[in-house]
Amino acid sequence: MAINTNDLTVERRYLDTYRFMIREYELVKAKSHPSYKFVEELYKAWGTNRKSFLKYYNRFKQGGKESDLLPRKRGPRYRTRRPLPFIENQVIELRQKGNSKHEIVSILKPRLHKFTPSASGVYNISKRYGLNRLTPKMKQNKRKIIKEKMGQLGHVDCHHLGKAIIRGKSQKLYLVCLLDDHSRLAWAEVTQDVTALTVMFATLKCINMLHDQYGIIFEEIISDNGPEFGQRNSQSKMNHPFERMLIELEIKHRYTQPYRPQTNGKVERFWRTLKDDLIEETDFDSLEELKDELLQYMCYYNHERPHQGIGGKTPVDMAKMSTEKSQT
């Protein structure tokens, strides 16, 4: 039990109690106590136990100071509760870039393995250094975490449009979108299901369109762990349509962390933008009209709509800057 050592009255009472208990204990051990024969009888009378009493008794006998009888402040032990300084430094560096606690764990795990702090451990480190709340500068750093050139990383995802998207019909429709991490150039295709084969063909159309129109050649594509994209730990990737397509195109497949849609946040943000700009504002009489409106919107999104995540530029402006930079 912790006590307030600034209160001398409480401290004196605590020390007097232990002095009495020690005298009684030593009388029993010397077999000269007038009332008790066994120390267990003393423990029961004092309302304590052997382990608790002997911790303070042995500490007092070894140290020889009455202050050893006072409870000590509990703190982290070496390599048990508080991580090593170099681990804390890595957490701080990643947090200052705007990463969440779950993203920090995901980044550190391939490097630190079993020494990786938990999400709650990352939060404790952030709180200890005053980084538990994102500052405007940290939010800006988070937005700057983009690839250095087009094609380094593409984000792919599927989105359910609902059954009532076509007026007077009840038909499930979906969208498949591929978005370039650096420029935010994107392309989307309408599908009537999200089977692996359908998603593979829709993604291939998006890859070809972004290559033909904007010259993007993807090195990596990241997706969630849905069955339409294949499983991270699958031993038969060549038998999966989407995985096989990426292998044939020599594009590395990356996967988001389970239950962490933020990892694929750029394409998730695209869905919200598309919903606000097009889906909720337009009625569609047919599937053909939906496809035509989507085509027009993708041209508007890529060429005219300013994007906050890239400093108010349009994706095409960002692509031009990237091309000019690569040529210099």
Q: So where are the chain's domains?
A: 8-69, 85-143, 154-327
Angle formed by the axes of helices 85-96 and 101-112, to 10°? 140
Residue 5, both tokens: 């050592």
What letter represents residue 185's amino acid?
L
pTM for the model stands at 0.58
CB 48 within 8 A of CB 57: no
Residue 299 to residue 292: CA distance in whole angstroms: 11
Non-local (6+) Cβ contacts of 96 within 8 A are 131, 138, 141
CATH fourth-level superfamily of 154-327: Ribonuclease H-like superfamily/Ribonuclease H (3.30.420.10)
Residue 173 to residue 18: CA distance in whole angstroms: 77
Residues facing 160 on adjacent strands = 174
pLDDT tens per residue across all 328 residues of the chain: 444 545 578 778 878 888 888 888 888 888 888 888 888 888 888 888 888 888 888 888 887 787 777 776 655 554 456 778 888 999 999 888 888 888 788 788 888 888 888 888 899 999 989 998 888 877 666 655 556 688 999 999 999 997 888 888 888 899 999 999 989 999 999 999 999 999 999 999 999 999 999 999 999 999 988 999 998 888 889 999 999 999 999 999 998 876 565 667 889 889 999 998 888 867 788 999 999 999 999 999 999 999 887 888 999 999 888 777 776 6
pLDDT value at residue 192? 93
Dihedral, CA of residue 108, residue 265, residue 304 and residue 151, to nearest 10: 50
The H or E element containing residue 158 is: strand 154-162
- Residue with token string 């600034």: 6
CB 221 within 8 A of CB 246: yes
Residue 220, both tokens: 């990596």
Among residues 124, 118, 82, the alpha carbon closest in space to that of 102 is found at 118
